[in-house]
Chains A and B, each alone.
Chain A
């Protein structure tokens, strides 16, 4: 009996799924975190430092999306010196060693999202992606967020894996 085999989705498909999940979370952060009113005009910039795949994915799937009345635009940074004025900056895992340099170039309106193993013992990090039993979750550093005048929606607080 001759029957064909199923084709395996490549690892790239798994990677694309991972990027999509991260993208949805970042988009949700843009919508569910409230920036000080001084920063709610003009375009809303999401900057990506490190993961070109994530940037490409966001630029493809989330193009034209809005948060409030702001049009969301995406920016990719190759190095810390490229990082410019953005509302939300995601620093991917491969650039986690550069976090301290990143913090030096951030201004007060930037919400920093990292991908570190854990942010319980680190200061200055705001939102962090963690994988818990294969699931993508996020940690909130509420005190740092509040110190920077960010207001966190109830949904994010309720769904956070941990709040520091």
Chain B
């Protein structure tokens, strides 16, 4: 990325003079802005943007002006803000490049605008993924926002870009983050559970055979059923309430099964899946099936005393 930046900067400096002389209307404030930028005086350069627009309103429709504005903001983000999270300057840089693209009918700056947008969108993506990898459980909303920014910019730069693979991973990852937040305080964060399930399902809508989302939904639904009885059901509860909560628990157990059956088809020798299915059948009081899977488990364990996943 450094090499690319150097090339872009060099090109920009060269084009400053060429373009300045080719402008129909001379704008001294714009010249000052370009000089400040050229001397890497970014803080000063950015201050001239509004001045140029007020003194030379025609610049508002100039793709080159917005192209330069994009780089001023981008360099501030990179060199002055040290690529900080949630930078507004980064967002402004992207807006400038998009304006430049929209005004650039001849495609004069197209390649460099696209490269700059690629850089910014990748940066958003990395920020989103970093949140997931750090398991920053309170920042899931930021991760979603960064990921959406990544997609928006990438789509502008590459309208035909296929997001499917990244969506599958990201939606699963963010689902896990919501799940972890929920588990930190199940009572206070109950609303996060819906987000978790929703993101797992978004991942599965794109790739129905995604192992991890199926596996985790299967486990999660079973655990939710157990939680209802073990954590939420008061021992002094009225029998009406007991019946109601048992109903909810059974619904969760029933929902768990198709997901676990699916991953069992994918990994029939995975001990934890067989244990899971046996546990769900136990919770559903289907003892015949429970015993069937316990026997499968016994066979697996005797065939492979120290389990290795497939």
* Chain A residues with a Cβ under 8 A of chain B: 1-11, 13-18, 20-21, 23-25, 27-28, 32, 61-62, 65, 131, 133-136, 155-156, 159
Contacts and interface: CB of A to CB of B under 8 A. Distances in A.
A8 B249 CA distance: 16
Contact of A159 (B132, B240, B283): B240
A23 B222 CA distance: 21
A6 B286 contact: no
A133 B180 CA distance: 32
Nearest to B168: A1
Given A131-B285, A135-B246, A155-B239, A5 B279 contact: no
Contacts of A32: 239
B215 interface: yes
Nearest to A61: B235
Contacts of A8: 219, 222-223, 272, 275-276, 279
A55 to B, nearest CB: 15
B235 A14 contact: no
B233 interface: yes
Contact of B230 (A17, A135, A159): A17
Given A5-B212, A6-B179, A14-B279, 10 more contacts: A1-B172, A1-B173, A3-B172, A7-B219, A9-B279, A10-B279, A11-B282, A13-B279, A14-B226, A134-B284
**10 tightest A-B CB contacts, nearest first:** A17-B229, A131-B285, A14-B283, A11-B279, A134-B284, A3-B176, A1-B169, A6-B219, A8-B219, A13-B226
A31 B276 CA distance: 36
A21 B173 contact: no
Given A1-B170, A11-B282, A134-B250, A159 B243 contact: yes
Contact of A25 (B239, B247, B279): B239
A24 B234 CA distance: 9
B252 to A, nearest CB: 11
A115 B176 CA distance: 40
Interface string B165-203: 000011011001101100000000000000000000000
B52 interface: no
B279 A23 contact: no
A2 B169 CA distance: 9
A65 B236 CA distance: 10
A3 to B, nearest CB: 4
Nearest to B286: A134
A17 B226 contact: yes
Interface of B: 129, 132-133, 135, 169-170, 172-173, 176-177, 179-180, 212, 215-216, 219-220, 222-223, 225-226, 229-230, 233, 235, 237-240, 242-243, 246-247, 249-250, 253-254, 272, 275-276, 278-280, 282-286
Given A17-B283, A134-B284, A159-B243, A9 B226 contact: yes
Given A135-B250, A136-B246, A1 B133 contact: yes
Contacts of A10: 275, 279
B218 to A, nearest CB: 9
A3 B175 CA distance: 10
A11 B275 contact: yes
25 contacts: A1-B133, A2-B133, A3-B135, A3-B173, A3-B177, A3-B212, A4-B180, A5-B216, A7-B219, A9-B279, A14-B280, A16-B230, A17-B229, A17-B230, A20-B230, A20-B233, A24-B237, A65-B235, A134-B250, A134-B253, A134-B286, A135-B250, A136-B246, A155-B239, A159-B243
B129 A9 contact: no
Chain A CB count within 10 A is highest, among B180, B220, B235, B250, for: B235
Chain B CB count within 10 A is highest, among A14, A27, A134, A136, for: A14
A4 B219 contact: no
A25 to B, nearest CB: 7
Chain A CB count within 10 A is highest, among B272, B280, B283, for: B283
Nearest to B272: A8
Contacts of B173: 1, 3
